[in-house]
Amino acid sequence: MGPRVRFASRNPGKLREVREILAAFGWGVDPLPTRFVEPQTDNLRAVVRAKLAVLRDLSGPVLVEDSGLFLPGLGGFPGVYSAYIAEIWGGPKGFRPLLRALEGAPRTAIFRTVAGLTVDGRDHLFVGESRGTVARLPRGSGGFGYDPIFIPEGQRRTFAQMSPEEKNRFSHRGRALRKVGRFLLRPGPADAA
Ligand code: IMP
C-alpha cells in the first residue's frame, strides 16, 4: 500500500475529488470526518489555519481545505459565506436569488480553494483558483454545490456538465491539490501563491 493522507472533511464530493487528484501522485486518501467550528472571518486562509490548529497533534499528514465562490459583481459575495448561501439557495432552488441579484451585474466569478496540510507539527498552505462566469440558469447534474452555475474560463459548459476528470483539470480544487501532490512527493517551500 502506498503513502496515505487523512482528509478532514464531511463533504463526500470534496473527498471524491481529493482522492482522484492525489491518486495521480500515488497518494491514497482516508476520510477523517471532523466537525469544525469555523472562525468568523472573511478570509479562507484564516479558516484553514484554524482548522489545522485543531488537527496539528495528529500523527501523519492531515489535509483540510476551504473553498468559496467570489463574485466581483456582488462585492465578492458569497465568498467565505458560500456554504451558508448554498444551503439556503442551492440544490433544488437552483440559486435563484443569487442569479437574480446578478442580473445587470458583471457575471465574472472566481472559485478559490485554500488547502492546508499539517505534517510533523508544521502547517503548509496551497491556493488554487478557477476563473470563470456564472451561468444564466443552472445546467448539468454532476459535481456538487455551485457546479451547475459555474462555467470555467474558455469553456461553454458548467462544472456540473463535465466529467470528474475535466472538472479537476480546470477547478480551483484541482489546482490547489496538485500543488499538495507535488509537495507530498518532494517537500519544499509550500506554494501558497
Ligand atoms: P466549504 O469549503 O465547505 O466551506 O465550501 C463552501 C461552499 O462552496 C459549499 O457550499 C460547497 O458545496 C461549495 N463548493 C466548494 N467547492 C465546490 C466546488 O468545487 N464546486 C461547487 N461548489 C463548491
Per-residue pLDDT of 95-153, as tens digits, reads 999 999 999 999 999 999 999 999 988 999 999 999 999 999 999 999 999 999 999 99
Concerning whether 30 is annotated as a catalytic residue, the answer is: no
Q: CATH for 4-185? A: 3.90.950.10
Task: Say how many Å lie between the CA of residue 2 and the centre of ligand 1.
Answer: 29
Tell me the β-bridge partners of 150.
Answer: 134
Mutate which of 15, 77, 144 for ligand 1? The one with the most ligand atoms within 8 Å of its CB, which is 144
Domain ranges of the chain: 4-185
Which of 128, 144, 16, 138 lies closest to 87, judged by CA? Answer: 144
DSSP state letter for 91: G
Task: Say how many Å lie between the CA of residue 100 and the centre of ligand 1.
Answer: 20
* pLDDT value for 38: 73
Pocket of ligand 1, beta carbon within 6 A: 11, 66-68, 82-83, 86, 143-147, 159, 171, 173
Average pLDDT score over residue span 31-44: 81
Taking the C-alpha atoms of residue 145 and residue 96, their distance in angstroms, rounded to an integer, is 14
* pLDDT value for 190: 61
Mutate which of 15, 65, 146 for ligand 1? The one with the most ligand atoms within 8 Å of its CB, which is 146
Per-residue pLDDT of 145-160, as tens digits, reads 999 999 999 999 999 9
Non-local CB neighbours of 129 within 8 Å, separated by 6+ positions: 110, 111, 112, 113, 172, 175
Q: How confident is the model at residue 1 (pLDDT cuts 50, 70, 90)?
A: confident
Catalytic annotation, pick one of 66, 120, 123, 191? 66
- Ramachandran region of residue 102, left (φ > 0), alpha (ψ -120 to 50) or beta? alpha
* pLDDT value for 193: 44
In this prediction the pTM is 0.93
